Structure 1
Amino acid sequence: MADLSQSLQSQLDAKPLAPLQWQVVFLCWLVNILDGFDLLAISFAAPSIAKTWMLDPQTLGIVFSSGLVGMTVGSLLLGPAADRIGRRPMIILATTVLGLSTLATAAATSVGQLLLLRCITGIAIGALLPSLNTLVAEYTPDRRRNLAISFMHLGYPVGGIAGGFIASQLIPTAGWEALFLVGGLFTLATVPVLLLGLPESLQYLLPKDQPKARAAADRIAVRLGIDLQAARAQPLVFSASGFRDVLRGPWLAPGVALWTCFFLGNLTLYFLLNWTPTVLVEAGLSSEKAIRAGMMLNLGGGIGMLTLGYLSARWSMYRMMSGFFVMGGVFIIALGQVTRAVDLLFGLTILAGFFSLGGLIGLYSLAARLYPDASRATGIGLALGAGRFGAILGPYAGGVLISLGWPMGRYFALLALPLIAVAAILWRVRPPSVVAARVTTKSAE
């Protein structure tokens, strides 16, 4: 007998996307734009901050990593809380904190203040991403899920591109502080929109035997054209919940593989995202061209995300992601060999972003499919938390290697190798039911 989750999903799969589903995907995409803007603003402001405050590369690497430390804390501690308090409250609360911390960053006058505020910004983003990923996954039919998750995460590079454009206009005339002022105000202006337009997940509401939860679920079901009586007639089947499902159940082995992929992928990606503008300035490019290269990196990543999401409905997600990660590593190595040929540099930057960021977003789709409803936000939160350790290490390692005087080509090549490893490890990220089915088939043969 199908359980409640399967009954609800089968109804979503049988219907075209309703306006409410598009609304959920759009609002989560909008929040992710703010994530990308607010987090990556520091990479665009870094050359100006370093010049004004006379910071060395190693200190700048610590500043980059402080936001990622916060993201780790947010993903590990607050991300799983969405399985208890709901996806919607977590998104609204974290967006509010994100706006306030970004706004306050504009008033920072010392490295210590900057580190603290970037850490708080990171905590908010770390709390947001598991809920955003989970809500989009739970509102979309299976055939559109990869594309919907890819589109939602497209907001991140869009925010990065917007941040680069605004930085190029504001920083030369108004200073680096203006960039964070604009980001904070835009983020806070989004909170009322979320309060009015973002619904809670049905998978979260249905198991709750409370009048408010039942009423909210009924209102959402009407807008989706779903028969909740048929869904409620099915049993709610979960082997465990929360951390026990993720850390002790059959999801542990594929989960560890997923965490490893996130760790290695983020190590390379966040080195690239944070250091590209600064490294290119030191290599002789103008600040304007270096910022434009950072924008090209995000542009390529956005195109790569949509391409992978679209093609995954036709071809094996695992084969495509393996190819993306290998090619991403190749183009990052090539990027490290070029500094003066601007047109070639921009082309390689786009391709490096296309494959590396595009492949990494595929991991979010695998994460959404790996865990059951009752522990999905917990599983995704832990996976993202593991990834943040790589995201912390990447910028810091880059700062150390640059301080050692290594040539650009050598440390770009070294920090591209983790992507090659991900291409091999991601094949272990399969739901227990799929692995069991494969074993049964082989035994029968």
Structure 2
Amino acid sequence: MHDEFIDVHEELSNAPVGPMHVKLGILLALLTLFDGYDTFNPAYVIHYVRGPWSLSLQQAGMLVSSGLVGFLLGAAVHGTIADRCGRRVTLLAGLWITTIFSVLTAVAGHSFAAFCTLRVLTGLGLGVLLPLSTTYINELAPRRIANTFALWGVALGWAAGGAAAGIVGVFVTPRTGWQGLYWVGSLSFLLIPFVHRYLPESPKFVLLRGRDEQVKAILSKLRPDRAAAYRDRRVARHADMARTPVLALLTTPYRRQSIAICAASFFSLFCIFGLSGWIPTLMQARGETFAASFAFGALMQVMSFVGGLVCGHLVDRSNCPRQWLGVWWTVGGFSVLALVFFHTHWTNLALSAAAGFCIIGGQFVLNNFTAASYETQMRATAVGMELAVGRLGAILGPFIGGALQQAFGGSNLMLTAIAVAAAGAAACVMFATKSKTDHEPRRDSADEPMAGVARG
């Protein structure tokens, strides 16, 4: 009897990586490329506006943090919307918002207040792209390579976008001013028709809505070798979740896990944005050239993808995500702390690369770990809340970094605070398990179909 039904979760988890997987991975990578690009732009804007706008170091930190306020709001609310209305339409809305306000920032962001306001509004769109792309790709990823596939599809785009911001900062802004960063960012409008045309709804979300024929159509594109078998079989129905998803994150099976994941994300993003927001300014203060100091930020983003890919591969092979994340953030913390004591060009280069490899790379894997730890009904909400809480740390990182530099006349205490936060992330993630009455979280562990129940 079981063979009469289509187990959607097993079909997706055991699928070979085919052309449709590759196409969707590229599309999501392009989406997150614009997210990563826009997120790190303000670090390069500081160089141009701090003097003309008479900004203190604290205000310069707020310049970086302003977009993260909007990201926090977007990440916090989009999950509930995506879990009710669908992944596809929510991603499209986020892309439209990001594109429109990137243009408006270039046109009208000519004062500290105007720039920060427009960055908050842009962040509402950015708060959708990364977390929801992470949710989407984790609902498609074959189980045996879940982290590796998600990293190639999402983390690569985000890291490439962050690196592109550095390249544009070095080669374009000397000719266009800081506004060039946002004119380039507004090229995201070219992606909108492709997302509209080629991005299907998540099959797991469609399954929850009982649209069986649409489920079969999507599965047939992902696994064309099994298309004929799908036509003659019914789709197994999964139990609906009666609880409110946001509140469900804090119920007994998930409370400890949710708190630990959100705390780890808070400390991790405090490190990432505290360091990325100030690294070009810090390196210029250490005697690096304008181009070289901007290149440090790009280097961190490139190495972050490599670090995430290595960590994700180790997680896929060992099924020990918490342990590897703890190692990654601990090593990253030591790398940042070493910047306090070593100031030569090559040590700056090596330690910045190591910080990107470990700290930012670890965050990519944490996002995937979060998505794999919750059921389909609450997955987008869980990833959104993880990144929303994390963005509190991201907001505080550049702001506190500027305040510490202003108060103590140097960067050493700021770097020490970032190193301590990395250790905090490593400690918190070790507690990210479900209650002892449940099993260690694994991909779709609670997404098993109701035996013998199907939709005709």
**Paired residue for 1:133?**
134
Which of 364, 369, 374 in structure 2 is aligned with 1:371? 374
Give the letter for the 1:85 counterpart. C
2:327 pairs with 1:318: no
Q: How does 1:352-431 map to 2 (within 5 A)?
A: 352-431=355-434
Whole-angstrom distance in 1 between the partners of 2:335 and 2:387? 25
Asked whether the 8 Å contact 2:253–2:438 carries over to 1, the reply is no
Q: 1:90 to 1:49 in 2, by over 3 A?
A: same
Q: 1:75 to 1:180 in 2, by over 3 A?
A: same
**Paired residue for 2:310?**
307
> Greater shift after overlay, 48-57 or 346-355?
48-57
> Greater shift after overlay, 299-308 or 243-252?
243-252
Report the TM-score, using the length of structure 2 for normalisation.
0.89
> How far did 1:214 drift?
4.2
SS in 2 for 1:415: helix
2:284 pairs with 1:286: no
Give the letter for the 2:316 counterpart. A
* Cα deviation digits, residues 301-330 of structure 1 (max 9, x gap): 111011111222222222221110100000
Give the letter for the 1:335 counterpart. L
2:15 pairs with 1:15: yes
Whole-angstrom distance in 2 between the partners of 1:208 and 1:36? 32
Bigger helix fraction: 1
Asked whether the 8 Å contact 1:105–1:118 carries over to 2, the reply is yes
> How far did 1:435 drift?
5.5
* Cα deviation digits, residues 259-278 of structure 1 (max 9, x gap): 11111111111101111112
Asked whether the 8 Å contact 1:221–1:228 carries over to 2, the reply is no
Asked whether the 8 Å contact 2:135–2:379 carries over to 1, the reply is yes
Asked whether the 8 Å contact 2:72–2:387 carries over to 1, the reply is yes
SS in 2 for 1:232: strand
Unaligned ranges ≥5, structure 2: 441-456
Give the letter for the 1:288 counterpart. A
Whole-angstrom distance in 2 between the partners of 1:401 and 1:358? 26
Paired positions, count: 431
> How far did 1:248 drift?
2.8
> Greater shift after overlay, 23-32 or 243-252?
243-252
Give the letter for the 1:81 counterpart. I
**Paired residue for 1:334?**
338
> How far did 1:338 drift?
3.4
The Cα RMSD (Å) is 2.2
Whole-angstrom distance in 1 between the partners of 2:378 and 2:234? 19
> Greater shift after overlay, 69-78 or 307-316?
307-316
Asked whether the 8 Å contact 1:71–1:125 carries over to 2, the reply is yes
**Paired residue for 2:448?**
none
**Paired residue for 2:353?**
350
Whole-angstrom distance in 1 between the partners of 2:294 and 2:166? 6
Whole-angstrom distance in 2 between the partners of 1:41 and 1:149? 24
> Greater shift after overlay, 251-260 or 418-427?
418-427
Give the letter for the 1:284 counterpart. G
Unaligned ranges ≥5, structure 1: 439-445
**Paired residue for 1:39?**
39
Whole-angstrom distance in 1 between the partners of 2:336 and 2:179? 31
Asked whether the 8 Å contact 1:39–1:121 carries over to 2, the reply is no
Identity within the alignment, % = 26
**Paired residue for 1:65?**
65
> How far did 1:382 drift?
1.0
**Paired residue for 2:215?**
217
**Paired residue for 1:115?**
116
> How far did 1:363 drift?
0.8
* Cα deviation digits, residues 122-152 of structure 1 (max 9, x gap): 1111122221111100111111111122221
Asked whether the 8 Å contact 1:150–1:361 carries over to 2, the reply is yes
Asked whether the 8 Å contact 1:206–1:217 carries over to 2, the reply is yes
**Paired residue for 1:297?**
300
Asked whether the 8 Å contact 1:146–1:309 carries over to 2, the reply is yes
Whole-angstrom distance in 2 between the partners of 1:305 and 1:169? 28
Q: 1:307 to 1:281 in 2, by over 3 A?
A: same
**Paired residue for 1:256?**
259
Which of 164, 167, 174 in structure 2 is aligned with 1:165? 167
Asked whether the 8 Å contact 2:266–2:392 carries over to 1, the reply is yes
Asked whether the 8 Å contact 1:74–1:122 carries over to 2, the reply is yes
**Paired residue for 1:441?**
none
Q: 1:333 to 1:172 in 2, by over 3 A?
A: same
* Cα deviation digits, residues 128-185 of structure 1 (max 9, x gap): 222111110011111111112222122212111111112111111221111211111x
Asked whether the 8 Å contact 2:207–2:237 carries over to 1, the reply is no
Whole-angstrom distance in 1 between the partners of 2:68 and 2:267? 14
**Paired residue for 1:88?**
88
> Greater shift after overlay, 5-14 or 375-384?
5-14
**Paired residue for 1:442?**
none
Whole-angstrom distance in 2 between the partners of 1:47 and 1:169? 14
Report the TM-score, using the length of structure 1 for normalisation.
0.91
Whole-angstrom distance in 2 between the partners of 1:68 and 1:414? 20
Which of 170, 185, 189 in structure 2 is aligned with 1:183? 185
Asked whether the 8 Å contact 2:141–2:150 carries over to 1, the reply is no
SS in 1 for 2:316: coil
Give the letter for the 2:407 counterpart. L
Whole-angstrom distance in 2 between the partners of 1:411 and 1:163? 23
